Chain A
């Protein structure tokens, strides 16, 4: 659009730049680019899924004006859904484990989401926050004739389609079709599957790789068929212990497992040397992109995702006390 003017919030989601990651590229001899998803209006890649899921529900007439969006989420998806809801005139109800940080509860409340806090229970328990969100959505649907959308980001494939329709094509165009490989971590699987499927459709030779944190079962699952998690990670919103519907047709070629220390070292360097202030999942992704570059050899173009801004993690990965308590590396200037 002329003068880069957007009509509304929804139109502002996506079309993020690719940023060349200088040090990662130099070390590996590849061109490594990060897709600057922290520049989305809700400050994370989850704006794409939130937009895709809500627009899909509107198109399918599951959500009519005055309807309610319900989701069990502890983070960025809630923020994305709340903002998309505000911009389109839907109320948003977020179900969240009560153990989550005050920062996140505050962020959702200030956006205007209604928050329901529930005890932290495993997925196998019907009281688990995700499963409760489904139940609450079903109960609300009985009395709300304008529709209740259970966003269901893990198994609602509108999530994956939002990346197939936007993230994938953007990367293809931004690299003039020269992209050789793409990698990112998996939470729902929407980004990796949707982007991967689009890129593979354009060129089968493009490699798609998983960058998995410790504490996630996927690395073992793709390596030897066993969904088994080892260790743990302070990163948030990534890692998975089951095959979600968004992960089902993921065209995966390679898997890497990344330690928190590797991810944090990269995150600290990216802020100090390249001015990029990012969250922990971006560190996992860039570390994965570097492993991928080593695997493919110099001269390749590799793209990954810079998921969200470091501002949401001041009490954790940007807090030396917290890092020390976990025996993790600390930024040398803090």
Chain B
């Protein structure tokens, strides 16, 4: 497993009380789940972790779900979570990697380097006899300031239309295959299913093991080649709202492609802005 990306539960156990180690619970649920991520966090979390709200750590002016916020707003929000520039940040969630990948992606976008994902998330933590608590985490306002915005990691609608029309880059869609072909409903009410013309289906589940771990490098390689994806080409990851697309970005990071951008507006923006929609495969 890629050591610069994941931390094992047993390593984290020795770090949870260290100053300058900050643990973020990035648990997130799709709107149709009926679950509230913050409530789940309050019921059970890793000691000293703070709740990283994927829905709220976003641009409040954009009506699309959780679009990347401005640099200043992100810095401000991270300070309120107690984060400092010198902190080692460790992210976990209770899904198979999805929202941790999103949080990881945000920190990369804003130029923070010292960031790890808990391998296997909360489930693996508990399976490894990691402690959890309901205790409120006490934080002191941090000094986190984002120094850069890596704008080339995010594709906007205009670019996406041109890329789709010209079939100029490989577009990988991390939603389920059934949503991709238009057979299954979208979890967001009123949203048509289907896909961006000239995009390819690569469900995030194909990149994960049944236990919610990212597959090994060898297995990931196989997934891409079995799906006829040439990883040496320019790739863009998309999904329903820009969360599971980050799993594609993480998987390719592990294969040495460190800067795979996502289409942040994703299917929600595409399908609600009157773009061409394809169904079937």
Contact = CB atoms under 8 A, between A and B. Distances in A.
Interface of A: 155, 157, 160-161, 197, 200-201, 225, 242-251
Contacts of A155: 140
B19 A160 contact: yes
Contact of B138 (A157, A200, A201, A250): A250
Contacts, number: 32
Contacts of B48: 249
A201 B19 contact: no
5 contacts: A157-B19, A157-B20, A225-B136, A243-B138, A246-B19
Contacts of A250: 138
Given A243-B139, A248-B82, 4 more contacts: A200-B17, A245-B19, A248-B140, A249-B19
Nearest to A194: B19
Interface string B136-148: 1011100000000
A246 B140 CA distance: 9
A245 B140 CA distance: 6
A251 B48 CA distance: 10
A161 B17 CA distance: 11
A197 B82 contact: no
B139 A248 contact: yes
A250 B138 CA distance: 9
Given A155-B140, A243-B140, A249 B20 contact: no
A160 B17 CA distance: 12
B137 to A, nearest CB: 9
B131 to A, nearest CB: 10
A246 B18 CA distance: 11
Interface string B45-73: 00010000000000000000000000000
Nearest to B22: A248
A225 to B, nearest CB: 8
A278 B84 CA distance: 38
Contacts of A248: 19, 82, 138-140
Contacts of B140: 155, 242-245, 247-248
A200 B16 CA distance: 13
Contacts of A200: 17
Interface of B: 17-20, 48, 82, 84, 136, 138-140
A197 B17 contact: yes
Contacts of A160: 19
A251 B17 contact: yes
Nearest to A244: B140
A103 to B, nearest CB: 32
A250 B18 CA distance: 10
Contacts of B18: 249
A157 B142 CA distance: 13
Contacts of B84: 245
Nearest to B21: A249
A248 B21 CA distance: 11
User: Which among B48, B84, B138 has the highest number of chain A CB atoms within 10 Å?
Assistant: B138
Contacts of A249: 17-19, 48, 138
A150 to B, nearest CB: 12
B17 A201 contact: yes
Contacts of A244: 140
A244 B139 CA distance: 8
Contacts of B19: 157, 160-161, 245-246, 248-249
A217 to B, nearest CB: 13
Contacts of A197: 17
A228 to B, nearest CB: 16
Contacts of A243: 138-140
B17 A247 contact: no
B50 to A, nearest CB: 11
User: Which among B18, B48, B84, B140 has the highest number of chain A CB atoms within 10 Å?
Assistant: B140
Contacts of B17: 197, 200-201, 249, 251
Nearest to A197: B17
A261 to B, nearest CB: 30
Contacts of A251: 17
Contact of A247 (B20, B136, B138): B138
Nearest to B19: A157
Nearest to A193: B19
Nearest to B82: A248
Contacts of A246: 19
The 7 A-B pairs of least Cβ separation, nearest first, read A157-B19, A243-B140, A245-B140, A248-B140, A197-B17, A249-B17, A243-B138
A249 B136 CA distance: 11
A151 B65 CA distance: 43
A160 B20 CA distance: 12
Contacts of B138: 243, 247-250
A149 B154 CA distance: 39
A243 B140 CA distance: 5
B263 to A, nearest CB: 37
A135 to B, nearest CB: 15
B142 to A, nearest CB: 8
A201 B139 CA distance: 21
Nearest to B136: A225
Contacts of B136: 225
A270 B18 CA distance: 36
Contacts of B82: 248
A220 to B, nearest CB: 14
Nearest to A200: B17
A256 to B, nearest CB: 18
Contacts of A247: 138, 140
A198 B19 CA distance: 13
A189 to B, nearest CB: 9
A1 B17 CA distance: 32
